[in-house]
Amino acid sequence: MAFASLSAEVRAPILIAELKLRNAYVASLCSIDEAKLSRALRQLRELSNEESERLMSTLLRLMALQNSIAPFSIDRTDPKRTRALLEATEHWDESEVRQRVSKLFNE
């Protein structure tokens, strides 16, 4: 099975490695069956368009959020907390996140 270089199945493993996430964490965070995600990340099975979109948008938002709060890091142990954080910051851009984090420590 050949996958396009821009497919979620090809791009997601790179982002997951950069974010230092476990597959089980990502599966829970994105509401994708863990076995299905594992097969997709090994390029043995395609994800549906909806799953691919959900996976990539979540990983890209996590990457942006992680960059915004550096040197702090996102909790990588509880997907529910991370999901709540993503939902709370959904309409914020990176500069707004940085500004709000900075404000917490300057007051």
**Residue pLDDT, tens place only, 27-39:** 999 999 999 999 9
Q: Domain map of the chain by residue range?
A: 8-106
CA angle 66, 7, 58 (to 5 degrees): 30
Q: What is the pLDDT of residues 34-70, one digit of tens each?
A: 999 999 999 899 999 999 999 999 999 999 999 998 8
Averaged confidence pLDDT in the chain: 90
Please give the pLDDT value at position 2: 59
Per-residue pLDDT at 7: 86
Burial environment of residue 39 by CB neighbours within 10 A (0 to 12, 13 to 18, 19 or more)? middle
pTM above 0.75? yes
